[in-house]
Amino acid sequence: MLLASFNMKAEKKQIDITPETPPNDDSEESRKRMPYRCPFSVFIDEGSLEIHAKGVTSNVWIFIKDADGQILYSETFFISEQYTINLPDHVTKSMVSLELVYDNIHLYGIF
C-alpha cells in the first residue's frame, strides 16, 4: 500500500486597498486624504492577515467589518515593515471588508 501526503496550503491572496473617495473639491483637507500611493500591501492567508508597510507608520488602526458594517475586529498598532494578525475564527467566517486608518487617511479593502 502506498501512502502519500500532500501539503494543501491555501495561496496568500492580496487585498486591494484604496483611499476613501474625497469630496468634489480641491481643498487641502481633500488632498491630504488622497495619498499618491498606498503605503500598505495587505494579504490574507488561512486566518492570518499580513500588513506590509513601505515605511515606518505609527498609530495604524484596523477595523474588520461584516456585511452589515458591524466591527468584528479592531486593533491599533505600530508597523515598520510587516505586521501579522492572527484572526479569530468568528472573524474569518463573517469578514467582508477592512479599513486602515493612519494620519487621518482612511483606506478600504474588500475580502
- 3-state SS class at 50: strand
Q: Quick one: three-class SS letters along 58-111?
A: EEEEEEEECCCCCEEEEEEEEECCEEEEECCHHHHHHCCEEEEEECCEEEEEEC
Assess if residue 33 is contained within a domain.
yes
E strand spans, 12-70 = 13-15, 17-19, 40-45, 48-53, 57-65
Assess if residue 46 is contained within a domain.
yes
* CATH number of the domain enclosing 50: 2.60.40.3080
Phi, then psi, of 90 in degrees rounded to 5: -65, -25
pLDDT in tens, 18-54: 876 444 445 566 555 554 577 889 999 888 999 999 8
Q: Which domain holds residue 59?
A: 24-110
Q: In this predicted structure, what is the pLDDT of residue 102? A: 87
- The structural domain count of the chain equals 1
pLDDT in tens, 73-110: 999 998 888 999 999 988 888 889 999 998 888 889 99
pTM of the complete model:
0.72
Q: In this predicted structure, what is the pLDDT of residue 18? A: 81
- 3-state SS class at 29: helix
Assess if residue 1 is contained within a domain.
no
